[in-house]
Structure 1
């Protein structure tokens, strides 16, 4: 592992140097009013953001190369880039400003305005005398005007993010806090007042995690928020000579180990909410946590984030992928000091979040209860995923393309946020409803391989009395058994099972075969007379790329239960590797 980390660091710096050579004689793309207004006119975020983040790539590349090599041509290019960024009309993204109702919209403190201010401030300190005094003054003036003055002149909360229980709070407050430590270090009274406000804000961020450390927004948002929270926590600890340590609590220990539990053995990641199937971990952040806390383990290094894989080109975590990793390696005495990846067979139960994760030898599964008003919510109570041989046969799509409708009242008209894009039943042709009261009312596991969830409350009141879903996972063999018991009401007219896959589908009677290249698994439904319907849906993934998604849906027969005056009906199905199938 140590050798792999050393090779990672070598490759990381070589790639940045190579990219600097490619970009040195290239002009940054320009931000225009036409691009800015595109979001307001059409809801499209991607076109403006593509240019915005390309500009931040220039900043990162030449700042890193200047820090690494101190070459005159890199520093001159960096100064040119800084001037251009300081001339931007607005550091915030169009999706985060309100030009119609806010006359001061150009000075909006949000995620990327905060990140830009932190990046410029830190770069100025790290390069110090290497930068022209005029450039350092320009940075100070812009950071003060765009960030520090409007924030500290306001009464709390500056905006919703200051007291919100999600990543926005960590990023914005963390950036402002770290900048304040740099800028106000010689004015103790002022700095103490500033840090008091920042520390108060960040208590809300930590409240957003469950007691057992789950980030309901998804793994990628854990990475995002924690990158900035830990950055500030480390700066604060250093400023207070170790007297204030925001990472020193039992809850924080649970939060810090959350990342490693979200990776299946094959390297795919849990994609609940606005997560991602192929999440990448930040080497710098993980190195710092592992250096300070014995229970933190590295995921498989194959899943480490490379420089270009953060499409937003966030300076703080990108720089720390170099600096904190280098620092960690310099402290190591031998290979045995590194916290290796977790054992292949493992089970994690998060009772507060109602998550259940199981890893077998060559297979994995995860299931969730929760409620339908979680951060970055999807209407997905009772959802589960199934992975075998590195292929996610039953899938959670995770985050879709972010557009205007994704974050307004039309959110649940977008396919990936709806119930039918998850592995949960449809009742009376209706999906689950949005709101905290639409939830899992019972969640119990054996701590090893099975979970029982009651999910009937997630649906329209009266359409079903309850649904008990029992999932049993035989990890050594890769077999997953699902038993759904539906407690009928007078209004229950139609029950449909609903499964989601990206694989090629073939059906024979009650047996569904899912195929990817030469790999196969089978879904066997207990009802031999069942008729499975195949629906193909369009999904725009987080990168805005259109994908074809297959839904497998079948109707649960109610006729026999009605005739026998039974109050319930059961549907059972199992998912097994093709190698275990016996006709």
Structure 2
């Protein structure tokens, strides 16, 4: 009994401290002036401006109609069931969010009862679940957001009995588990979990505010203080350490949070204006190549898609060209709008004032971002589908969702991706076999997975060893001159147990071909170095210094300028271990060289697309002279 009393006193003390601290963040008066339902993202009456844009712009009409068509399909389905896969219920939470967001949007815009009835059925079904799986709190967060949007947007039309059941579920299965220290370690996280969980639970608090005002205020103010932690990951330039796919996850939920909070409480500087965060839209813009594939380093996939959060950034920054990739999909693409994006309605909310057909191409052809996982992204054109594109990364394997891919790159040319990255392997496919994939120390089992270690990436491997987890590389220098776009990184700390020095530079020369140059210095023992490039092209060794790659009737030549004597090779990408994912239609190409002790060696590899129109007469200079050559 004494222990329980002590715990309750401590809880009350912490609560009072939290409320006292948060009162400085948001004055009490801001909570007493909250509007009635609907209050999340889209206030009553704001549908009119969206309807006007849909009537005036064919692109927005296309998106709107795609959502309505998908709602018709949803109406014919049964609600999601509580079927957990491994440790996750997340696919069910995401599907519920997609369905409820679409149906709620359709009801707000069209007021047709069929959307209301089907959304109510979904909301009641998930509200009746035993729980929303708090042991994997992302599941709770996305489910809470789904139910909160439906409850808030259709509040006046829902029967009171249904409202009570839904409201109770938000409280008991969403908000209250977020107060349990067994489940809320994400409050101190600096990655996407923080953003997703805070956003979802805050939506729940906003939805039931009038019924639980003190608790809701605690949740909102707690989130405002906590959610700034992952914003440091965007510093200093906006490069997101976890890569393309997790940018789409963490940043989207950050924007959902920011948008909802700013709608109700105004612009809160500590949330929306952190250094680096507002620069991150440029990072994502440059992360897609002319083939339409992303630079999918870390646990990412190559598939790209509409990014609703980009419309929020473009609106905030007044930079429509940030939406170039979205324009390509909405205006120029003949493909149908993909309705698997659960946040698609938010795109209309944030972007309906933009006239997509008037967006001009970006001007910068090089983008460099430092931070935890620095990248350099370069291209020869934004409008030419045959343009050359290179995504080149530095960084460290130690970042969240990181791979041993420091120094790796991808390359597009003549409409094809020649140098590729596998990206992630499905987590459940590994966890179900007992593989521990979340450790990041040097001896972690994670690095035994083929797709995670350096053996499968477009980088160097020394003495068949792993890169060093504690290593870190920046982009040391770069140039945006059209005659020689380039970036250089120092990889030494990734190999400093075996090499004295390792540097890599990648350049697009005269907008015609690519140079990859590595400069290596050995220590007191000789080293065996492997240079590899992963590709889905067919490969034929066409000479002592060249490999011809062919794909879809197009060709690219890989030519080794130095060293003079190499053994060109191709390697299969068959899964080394039973738990590794299959990799059909791919191979590694490159060479192996033994470098004597206490010596220096330079590898110079040219990647020459078939449409190269100039004779290659330039000598590849040492990396230290690249800047001097550009200045001249």
TM-score w.r.t. the length of structure 2 is 0.76
Counterpart of 2:447 (choices 389, 412, 432) is 412
Aligned residues of 1:181 and 1:235 also touching (Cα < 8 A): no
- Is 1:489 matched with 2:523? yes
Q: Distance in 2 between matches of 1:392 and 1:39?
A: 34
Residue 446 (structure 1) aligns with: 479
Residue 74 (structure 1) aligns with: 115
Q: Deviations over 1:537-579 (max 9, x none)?
A: 1479xxx885332111311243xx56xxx61122211111123
Q: Distance in 2 between matches of 1:224 and 1:4?
A: 31
- Shift in Å, 1:270: 1.8
- Shift in Å, 1:505: 0.9
Structure 2 counterparts to residues 80-479 of structure 1, below 5 A: 80-92=121-133, 107-108=134-135, 110-152=137-179, 154=180, 159-184=184-209, 191-242=216-267, 246-283=271-308, 285-295=309-319, 297-300=322-325, 301-303=327-329, 309=338, 311=340, 314=342, 317-326=343-352, 328-329=353-354, 340-343=360-363, 346-352=365-371, 353-361=373-381, 362-403=387-428, 404=431, 405=435, 406-408=437-439, 409-433=444-468, 435=469, 437-440=470-473, 443-448=476-481, 449-459=485-495, 461-474=496-509, 476-477=511-512, 479=513
Counterpart of 1:568 (choices 600, 606, 614) is 600
Question: Given the superposition, is the C-alpha separation of residues 380 and 299 from structure 1 closer, same or farther in structure 2, using an over 3 Å criterion?
Answer: same
Unaligned 5+ residue runs, structure 1? 93-106
Unaligned 5+ residue runs, structure 2? 1-52, 382-386, 617-632
Q: Distance in 2 between matches of 1:476 and 1:423?
A: 22
Q: Distance in 2 between matches of 1:407 and 1:325?
A: 37
- Shift in Å, 1:517: 0.9
- Shift in Å, 1:475: 5.5
Most deviating of 296-305 and 107-116? 296-305
Residue 11 (structure 2) aligns with: none
- Shift in Å, 1:51: 6.1
Aligned residues between the structures: 533
- Shift in Å, 1:258: 2.5
Counterpart of 1:502 (choices 536, 548, 555) is 536
Aligned residues of 1:368 and 1:384 also touching (Cα < 8 A): yes
- Is 1:580 matched with 2:612? yes
- Shift in Å, 1:90: 3.3
- Shift in Å, 1:387: 1.3
Aligned residues of 1:538 and 1:548 also touching (Cα < 8 A): no
Q: What is the DSSP-based 3-state SS (H/G/I as helix, E as strand, rest coil) of the residue aligned with 1:125?
A: helix
Q: Distance in 1 between matches of 2:57 and 2:375?
A: 35
- Is 1:553 matched with 2:570? no
Residue 523 (structure 1) aligns with: 558
Question: Given the superposition, is the C-alpha separation of residues 319 and 6 from structure 1 closer, same or farther in structure 2, using an over 3 Å criterion?
Answer: same
Residue 630 (structure 2) aligns with: none
- Shift in Å, 1:394: 0.9
- Shift in Å, 1:308: 7.7
Question: Given the superposition, is the C-alpha separation of residues 364 and 17 from structure 1 closer, same or farther in structure 2, using an over 3 Å criterion?
Answer: same
- Shift in Å, 1:255: 2.5
